[in-house]
Amino acid sequence: DELEARRVAETARLAELEEQRRRVQAEAKEKERHAAVIQALARGKKERLHVAAMAPPREWRFQKFYERSFDTAGRNGEAFYIEQNEKLDIMAVSGSGRLVLTATDKEGVQVVTGGVVYDSSAHAFLYASGGRKR
């Protein structure tokens, strides 16, 4: 009986020690997790401050100039290929006639069909009543 009581007491003591060891390990793991979260927050804050202090990225602008002359006696056409982030500026138009624009996207769908960009007779619509603007 005494041997059995010692065995039970020893088993209880070992169980208590095992429980303490498990609690210490869980606490250490929790501390490590909290430290990792704090470090990640600090790194994130530092990185955000670094990015905010950086100069904005340079904006690159490229220009291409094309000069075209058309004869009003015949039907003329010209094609310009531009990407989605580019724009087409018509700087100057002179002479008699009409400049019509048709735009097609990469898939072949016409986005603009027959848009009048320049019409030399447009002043007749504005000043039809003797020079006064309507």
- For the chain, the domains span 1-59, 61-134
Q: What span, in angstroms and rounded, lies between the C-alpha atoms of 114 and 104?
A: 11
CB neighbour list of residue 62: distance below 8 Å, 6 or more residues apart? none
Q: DSSP 3-state assignment of 86? A: coil
- Rounded to two decimals, the pTM is 0.41
Question: Is the pLDDT assigned to residue 16 strictly greater than 70?
Answer: yes
Per-residue pLDDT tens over the stretch 19-76: 999 999 999 999 999 999 999 999 999 999 999 999 888 887 777 787 888 777 777 7
Q: Which residue has the higher pLDDT, 95 or 18?
A: 18
Mean pLDDT of 5-14: 96
- The amino acid that residue 7 corresponds to is R
